[in-house]
């Protein structure tokens, strides 16, 4: 008899623990196109602070978007994290994200780094800027993105493939700034100056400069940072173009709450935390990027690359004009 009572009591206690556990600790499911190594420390820090349990799936941006679409309302994902405003814009257009009204996000994230309809928010900032050989180029020879098409750069310019969304966004922003005709003229002049066929990634592009295949290229700041970390005597430097005009082309990694999020409130709270002074450095430093929150300073080794004026074109243009950019690059012979 006593034994039965004991087991009933044990059963009641365990059920209580199970249900109270579910009620009191929030949970969150994240689909992330950023790799585990970059996001896990953030998730761990948030779980430690709030008790919110975070499970996640990592994959490339394309497959994650397809998966969200296929899962529809049955998706377990509450939040999508991906890189490039072009990808974020595309996800929003495909209807897998929902608008979020949040004073905190409005305050922490500048308008041009988020969706005007609040379906996605930039969380870290990278610049796509000029990198040059310190052995063969003087910074005075450089000025703007467009000037890389001048005759003095013939057989000296190197670019990454036009298939990469980073370059599609760059050209989309050129269209936004100068109009399609002028943007096409710029891209054509780059192609005419290429010293080699476009490379598959930014690192290979910079390695080609080091190997003497060309003298200047356009890359994302953090790839330069990674190379510099490995070799402090790297014979490359960054240049900030368009300082007297439109500013350096910047882009973001960011996130949006999924349309069918089961834990919508928890997802918004997590997004707000990611934009906070507390989390911004963690998020940016993980990939040697810049915080989007203007109250937060970049890490010293990022600041050491120099201050610059950034473009304040709304990044939604990177998405809106992506198709036009792809067609333009194709017409201009940029492969
Ligand atoms: Fe990248």
CATH of the domain at 98: 3.40.190.10
pLDDT of residue 12: 64
**For residue 102, pLDDT beyond 70:** yes
Residue 213 lies in a domain: yes
Domain assignment present for residue 304? The answer is: no
Q: How far is the CA of 253 from the centre of ligand 1 (A)?
A: 9
- Distance of alpha carbon 119 from alpha carbon 258, whole angstroms: 9
- Give the total number of structural domains in the chain: 2
* Distance (Å) of CA 66 to CA 27, 83, 95, 229: 23, 16, 11, 36
Give 129 Cα–ligand 1 centroid separation in angstroms.
Answer: 13
Residues 203 and 274 in one domain: no
In which domain, by residue range, is 81 found? 2-124+253-297
Q: Which whole-number Å values give the CA distances from 308 to 127, 146, 198, 241, 246, in the listed order? A: 10, 18, 27, 9, 11
What gap in Å lies between CA 218 and CA 213, rounded to an integer? 14
Q: Is 305 contained in some domain?
A: no
Distance from the CA of 37 to the center of ligand 1, in angstroms?
14
Supply the pLDDT for residue 18.
53
Domain co-membership, 163 together with 113: no
pLDDT(268) > 80: yes
* CA 85 / ligand 1 centre spacing (Å): 12
pTM over 0.85: yes
Residues 80 and 183 in one domain: no
Same domain, 147 and 75: no
Does 183 fall in a domain?
yes
Asked if residue 303 belongs to a domain, the reply is no
The reply to whether 113 and 163 lie within a common domain is no
Cβ burial, residue 192 (10 Å; 0-12/13-18/19+) = middle
Same domain, 289 and 315: no
Same domain, 139 and 118: no
d(CA 24, ligand 1 centre) in Å: 37
Instruction: Specify whether 316 is located in the same domain as 206.
Output: yes
Better-predicted residue by pLDDT, 95 or 20: 95
Q: Are residues 243 and 260 in the same domain?
A: no
Q: Is residue 150 part of a domain?
A: yes
Q: Are residues 165 and 71 in the same domain?
A: no
Per the CB < 8 A criterion, the answer to whether 290 and 128 are in contact is no
How many angstroms does the Cα of residue 222 sit away from the middle of ligand 1? 8
For the chain, the average pLDDT equals 95
The residue-averaged pLDDT of 26-42 equals 96
- What's the CA gap between 263 and 73, in Å, rounded? 13
């Amino acid at each position: 008899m006593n034994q039965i009572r004991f087991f009933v009591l044990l059963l009641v206690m365990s059920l209580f623990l199970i249900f109270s556990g579910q009620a009191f600790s929030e949970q969150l499911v994240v689909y992330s196109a950023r790799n585990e190594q970059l996001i896990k420390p953030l998730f761990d820090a948030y779980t430690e602070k709030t008790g919110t349990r975070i499970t996640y799936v990592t994959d490339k941006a394309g497959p994650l978007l397809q998966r969200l679409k296929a899962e529809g309302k049955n998706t377990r994902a509450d939040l999508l994290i991906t890189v490039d405003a072009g990808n974020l814009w595309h996800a929003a257009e495909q209807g897998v994200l929902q608008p979020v009204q949040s004073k905190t996000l409005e305050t922490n994230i500048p308008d041009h780094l988020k969706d005007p309809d609040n379906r996605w928010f930039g969380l870290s900032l990278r610049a796509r800027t000029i990198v040059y050989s310190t052995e063969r180029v003087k910074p005075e020879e450089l000025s703007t993105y467009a000037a890389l098409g001048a005759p003095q750069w013939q057989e000296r310019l190197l670019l990454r493939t036009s298939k990469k969304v980073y370059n599609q966004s760059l050209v989309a922003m050129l269209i936004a700034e100068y109009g399609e005709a002028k943007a096409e003229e710029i891209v054509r002049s780059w192609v005419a100056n290429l010293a080699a066929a476009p490379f598959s990634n930014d690192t290979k592009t910079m390695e080609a400069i080091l190997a003497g295949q060309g003298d200047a290229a356009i890359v994302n700041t953090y790839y330069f940072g990674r190379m510099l970390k490995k070799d402090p005597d790297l014979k490359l430097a960054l240049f900030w173009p368009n300082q007297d005009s439109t500013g350096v082309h910047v882009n973001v990694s960011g996130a949006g709450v999924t349309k069918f999020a089961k834990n919508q409130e928890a997802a918004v709270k997590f997004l707000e935390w990611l934009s906070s002074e507390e989390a911004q450095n963690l998020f940016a430093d993980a990939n040697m990027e810049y915080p989007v929150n203007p109250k937060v300073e970049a890490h010293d080794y990022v600041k050491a690359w120099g201050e610059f004026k950034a473009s304040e074109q709304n990044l939604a243009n990177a998405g809106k004009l992506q198709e036009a950019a792809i067609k333009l690059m194709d017409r201009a012979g940029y492969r």
